[in-house]
Amino acid sequence: MDIRNYLDSTYLKTAGQAGVSEQENIKIATAFIEEAIEEGFKLIMIRPDRVALAKKMITKKKSNLTIGTVIDFPNGNGTLEEKLTEAVQAIEDGADDLDFVLDYEAFKNGEVDAVKKQVLECTRLGLFHNKIVKWIIEVAALNDHQIVQLSALIKNIVIANFKEQQYESVFVKSSTGFYKTEEGKPNGATVPAIKLMIENAFPLSVKAAGGVRTYQEALEMIALGVKRIGTSSAKAIASGEISKNDY
């Protein structure tokens, strides 16, 4: 099975996180974009300040590669206005997919109405501009009950406020890949978490991000029903190799 169309090739590290200079980090991002174009992946997922670069490269190559970026990344604790402002800029720069980090800590603290408003307004902005909207719920920060609650919350807002033909443009996504866990626990997608998301987000689609490191693991996620897989090792996974990367 050729899984390239499921793969969102991902590079989201800052220069500091990568331990390189800013110039070197731009080179790394550029190489990821070039690889995604050459390999025919579904999408390149990059930081907002790299979207314009990707758009220029894709246009030059006349490629069908789409561009995704992250909003309010990685903690999701910015204000609604900050999320919207960042998303508008990403749209202007050429992003096709907007992956918002949901304020999961606010949700855990009982600020459910604020989270609902965030989901509604940001989803509305993305869909108005014909973009794909994904909501990162950060499963490693949640217990099973909270995963169920947040998946259902996003689904219910979409069903209540948007047309049925728009449902396919909204995803629930597992992870940022940057959440710090204790005792070596996984910080990305796991089979149990993905199952809960799929069961409770339907009819919305689910993206498994982080933790998928082999072709077989990718097939397992696809068999569960995920529509996208986020990984920094898309080429290795598509080629049947084992990724040594941490996302």
> Which amino acids are annotated catalytic?
99, 173, 207
φ, ψ dihedrals at 241, nearest 5°: -90, 170
Q: How far apart are CA 63 and CA 134, in angstroms?
A: 23
CB atoms within 10 A of CB 218: 22
- Beta-carbon neighbour count of residue 101 at 10 Å? 24
Give the Cα separation of 6 and 3 in Å (integer): 5
Beta strands in 106-159 (DSSP E): 132-136
Q: What is the SS3 assignment for 149-198?
A: HHHHHHHHHHHHHCCHHHHHHEEEECCCCCCCCCCCCCCCCCHHHHHHHH
Please state the length of the chain: 247
